[in-house]
Amino acid sequence: MTTGCYEPSLADLNGLDGVQTALHARAAAVARAQFGNRVFVRGVVEISNFCRENCHYCGMRRDNRALGRYRAEADRLAELVLRHRPASMTDLNLQAGEDPVAAREVALPLVRHIRQHTSLGVSVCLGTLDDSLYDALHEAGAETYILKFETADPDHFAECEGPGSLVERVRTIRRLAAAGWWVSSGFIAGLPGAHPEALLHNCRLAAALPLRGCSVSPFVPGADTPLANAAAGGADWTLNCMAMLRLLRPDWVIPSVSALNIAEPGAGYRRGLGTGANLVTINLTPPDLRNDYVLYKRDRFIMTEGRILEAIAAAGLVPSPTSLAEHFRRTTPSPAASPPA
Interaction site with ligand SF4 (CB under 6 A): 51, 53, 55, 58, 60-61, 97-98, 127, 163
The vertex-148 CA angle with 257 and 320, nearest 5°, equals 45
In Å, what is the CA distance from 170 to each residue of 73, 128, 164, 193, 298? 31, 11, 11, 21, 31
Give the contacts of 151 (CB within 8 A, at least 6 positions apart): 157, 160, 162, 166, 187, 188, 191, 194, 198, 202
Is residue 176 classed as helix, strand or coil in its secondary structure?
A: helix
Look up residue 339 and give its DSSP letter: P
Question: Smaller CB distance to ligand SF4: residue 60 or 142?
Answer: 60
Question: Smaller CB distance to ligand SF4: residue 217 or 323?
Answer: 217
CA distance 63 to 56: 10
Question: Smaller CB distance to ligand SF4: residue 97 or 121?
Answer: 97
φ, ψ (nearest 5 deg) of residue 235: -85, -30
Q: Closest residue to ligand SF4, Cβ-based?
A: 58
Min dist CB 162 to ligand SF4, Å, is 7
Min dist CB 237 to ligand SF4, Å, is 19
Min dist CB 60 to ligand SF4, Å, is 4
Q: Which helix (H) or strand (E) holds 57?
A: none
CA distance 285 to 44: 7
Min dist CB 304 to ligand SF4, Å, is 23
Question: Smaller CB distance to ligand SF4: residue 224 or 251?
Answer: 224
Question: Smaller CB distance to ligand SF4: residue 90 or 95?
Answer: 95
Min dist CB 226 to ligand SF4, Å, is 11
